[in-house]
Structure 1
Amino acid sequence: MLGAMGLGASAALPAWAKIAVQPAASAGFTAAGIADLNAKMHALVDQQKLAGVVTLLARKGKVVNLDAYGRQDASAPAPMTTDSIFRIASMTKPVVGVAMMQLWEQGRWKLDDPVAKHIPEFAGLKVKTDAGLADQARPMTMAQLMSHTAGFGVSSVYEKDNLRETDLQGMVDKLAKLPLVSQPGTDWAYGPCVDLQGYVVQKLSGKSLDRYLQDHIFTPLKMPDTQFWVDPSKTARVVRMHTYDPAGKIVAADFPIRTSPPRFLSGGGGLVSTAPDYYRFCQALLQGGELEGARILKPDTVKLMRKSVLQQGVGVDLYGPVQKGLGFGMDFAVHERPAESGLPHGQDSYWWGGAFGTWFWIDPTHDIVFVGMIQNLDGSIPGRGTPAVRDISPAAVYAALAERKT
Structure 2
Amino acid sequence: MTRQAYRAALLHALDDPSRSPDAVDYHADGLLIVEDGHVAAFGAYADLAASLGDTPVEPLPGRLITPGFVDAHVHYPQVDVMAAWGAQLLDWLHTHTFPTEQAFADSAHADAVAQVFLDQLLANGTTSALAFCTVHKTSAEALFEAALARNMRLIAGKVLMDVNAPDGLTDTVETGRADTEALIRAWRNKGRLGYAITPRFAVTSSDAQLAMAGEVLAANPDVLLHTHMSENTGEIAEVARLFPRDRDYLAVYERHGLVGPRSVFAHCVHCDDEAFRRLAKAGASVAFCPSSNMLLGSGLFSLKQACAQGVSTALGTDVGAGGSFSLLQMMGEAYKVGQLRGDALDPLHAFYLATLAGARALHIDDKVGNLTPGKEADFVVLDLAATPLLARRAASTRSLAETLFVLAVLADDRAVERTYVMGDLAHARGST
TM-score range, shorter chain: under 0.3
TM-score normalised to structure 1 length: 0.27
Higher relative contact order (CA 8 A, sep 6+): 1
More helix by share: 2
Q: Quick check: which one's strand share is greater?
A: 2
